[in-house]
A and B are shown apart, each in its own frame.
Chain A
Amino acid sequence: MGAAAETFAEAVVIEHRRGFRRRWYRTPSFVAGVSILGSIVLLAVLAPVASWHDPIQQDLSQILQSPSWDHPLGTDELGRDVWARLLFGARTDLRVAFLAVLFPFVIGTTIGLLAGYFGGWMDTVANWFVSVVVAFPFYVLIIALVFALGSGTRNIYIAITIVGWVSYMRIVRGEVLVAKRRDYVLAARAGGLSDTRIIGRHLLPNVITQAIVFAMSDIVLDILAIVTLGYLGLGVQPPTPDWGKMIADGQTYLTTQWELSTIPGIAVVITALGLSLLADGLADLLRPE
């Protein structure tokens, strides 16, 4: 009888399972974020189809054209199609931004797990490095590093990784400090599981959520950093199209062809908005009930 009542309660509970699948479309910021970012990614992926001009091909007879049927967003000072450069620039900037988040994410999470779980000297050393990095403002350190290492995408990854892992480490370490006091960690130890197993299989899935949510907003920061570096001439090197370089190049013609700088600027803002909304929605959805 008691068991029957329990089985009934169980059936009710199972009705509520798969919360994520049931609720995602009722979270407006998540839907909006996915739509905006999805469209941008789709356009970037379909860039060769969605534009009919070569983004690098110069045509000096067609410089600084206003928008027309052939050039929907006009041409730049070297006669290159702005629409094509915008789409191919999205490819570059999104790829670089995602990769630039991936390395700090992995490194910061790993160090955060180890420092939080083992504590002691590991925690002390890790926190010492964190303090060193945090002592500098984000952009100053990135620009200084890229300046020292030389421009180019590889060095952008290195610079952002050196600066960016700190945030993930701090988030994950904090979560681990709380989670490792939970009984399920004690229970896992009572089952004789190894530290590696406990960290990888029990702690990581429980602490990774916050880091993922932060990664979404971190991509925004990285896109801004990459665009800033491009603007300063330290970023992606020409002739590869990149939004930052487009803004910088268009600056000269701001009084006559204001759209040259404004269009990639708007693209940056929309992408950032999409990612922020996505991060917000994810945070809502992944929050434990």
Chain B
Amino acid sequence: MSETLLDVRDLRVEFPGPPAVRAVDGASFDIRAGEALGVVGESGSGKTMALRALVGLLPRSARLAGGTIVFEGMDLATASPEQLRAVRGRSISMIFQEPMTALNPVMRIGEQIGEGPLVRLGYGRRRARERALELMRLVGIPDPAERAEAYPHELSGGLRQRAMIAIALSMEPKLILCDEPTTALDVTIQDQILKLLLSLRERLDVSIVFVSHDLAVIAQTCQRVAVMYAGQVVETGPVEQVFREPRHPYTLSLLRSVPDVDNVRHQLTAIPGSPPDLADPPSGCRFHPRCPFVQPDCVAGAFPLRPLGPERATACIHPDAAAADVRREPVLAGG
């Protein structure tokens, strides 16, 4: 097992009330050097907020309400704004969902890619430009010299996302946080961008956190996965194992709700009910009102992640129920 790069314990993000909304409520996960971790969950499960909290980029209306974020021996949760700024871009960088809006519309692509090296690494103008061209070649932007002069609206969605990736790589970070990086792209381009990220991870030995609601994307790109529900991590483990034998009913429901083109007879099941109101979450296990295997002891008490062997953990206190259900009817084999 490789060393832990980032260790997040009991992370809490709150939108102060009234009523106070806990967007992230006690999420724990860790990222190891060189790996890709997928964070999956429905909209509103707190995955984006958790990601932004890691580098102190919460919206103004939200605040970090607790937890530790240990990165290279430093707790980012208690770091000063200046310390956080020093970490951002250089050690941990971000890639956003919408490459059109995440690029400055009135700045040339080359300048935007070379900006980090220019102002943060003290490169001269000429060297920053060379670095930008080098990065553009690295992420597969054709004719870098010409594209460097272009403005974002002159590039296609795929090239814009490549440019975003080049910016994220420009200061050689150890960790890249990707917030649904392919959701806004069409399927063929999506595939190219995922392959690019995969190859870059291997070549540059950088760790990646991949936030997505798309299970197929996570399955393709990540070694490990953390499943989030209502602001909490409910299951973690190697992607292969978690998706084949989920040990939390929510993970199982999520997998069953994905259409499978290879098996048209596979029964598509929507998860009953709707995600809980985070201003007033259900007692006990937060999934219990929607859980098909709910037991009397699910409705009260605390539900932290419990280890299930060396690599896996689940918050469910009846993990065998999900396992038995999978044995009866396997979830998508392709996953």
Contacts and interface: CB of A to CB of B under 8 A. Distances in A.
Nearest to A187: B102
Contacts of A183: 96, 98, 101-102
B57 A191 contact: no
A188 B104 contact: yes
B207 interface: no
A171 to B, nearest CB: 17
Interface residues of A, number: 30
Contact of A192 (B98, B106, B120, B188): B120
A197 interface: yes
A201 interface: yes
B87 interface: yes
Contact of B150 (A14, A186, A191, A206): A14
A206 B89 contact: no
Interface in B170-227: 170-171, 188-189, 192
B50 interface: no
A13 interface: yes
A191 B167 contact: yes
A191 B115 contact: yes
B164 to A, nearest CB: 8
Interface residues of B, number: 43
A182 B101 contact: yes
12 contacts: A3-B142, A6-B156, A183-B102, A187-B164, A190-B55, A190-B89, A191-B93, A192-B88, A201-B107, A202-B107, A206-B105, A289-B153
Contacts of A189: 57, 88
Interface in A219-234: none
In the A-B complex, list the 6 residue pairs whose CB atoms are closest, starting with the nearest: A192-B89, A192-B88, A190-B94, A191-B89, A183-B102, A183-B101
A193 interface: yes
A288 B105 contact: yes
A190 B90 CA distance: 10
A182 B103 CA distance: 9
B138 interface: no
Contacts of A3: 140, 142, 192
A17 interface: yes
Interface in A148-186: 182-184, 186
A191 B171 CA distance: 9
A10 B171 CA distance: 27
A193 to B, nearest CB: 7
Given A17-B154, A183-B96, A190 B107 contact: no
Most chain A beta carbons < 10 A, residue from B98, B106, B171, B188: B106
A211 B60 CA distance: 27
A13 B107 CA distance: 17
B82 to A, nearest CB: 10
Given A186-B57, A187-B167, A194 B102 contact: no
B116 interface: yes
A119 B88 CA distance: 23
B119 interface: yes
A2 interface: yes
A190 B107 CA distance: 17
Contacts of B106: 205-206
Nearest to A182: B101
A189 to B, nearest CB: 6
A202 B116 CA distance: 13
A9 B94 contact: no
A186 B96 contact: yes
B155 interface: yes
Nearest to A191: B89
B97 to A, nearest CB: 8
B57 A190 contact: yes
A201 B153 CA distance: 18
A187 B154 contact: no
B38 interface: no
Interface string A1-37: 0110011011001101100000000000000000000
Contacts of A119: 60
B86 interface: yes
Contacts of A187: 94, 96, 102-103, 164, 167
A183 B164 CA distance: 12
A202 B155 contact: no
A194 B151 CA distance: 23
A194 B147 CA distance: 26
Contacts of A289: 153
Nearest to B85: A192
A268 B86 CA distance: 56
B189 A13 contact: no
A190 to B, nearest CB: 4
Given A191-B116, A192-B116, A13 B167 contact: no
B159 interface: yes
Contact of A6 (B115, B159, B171): B159
B158 interface: yes
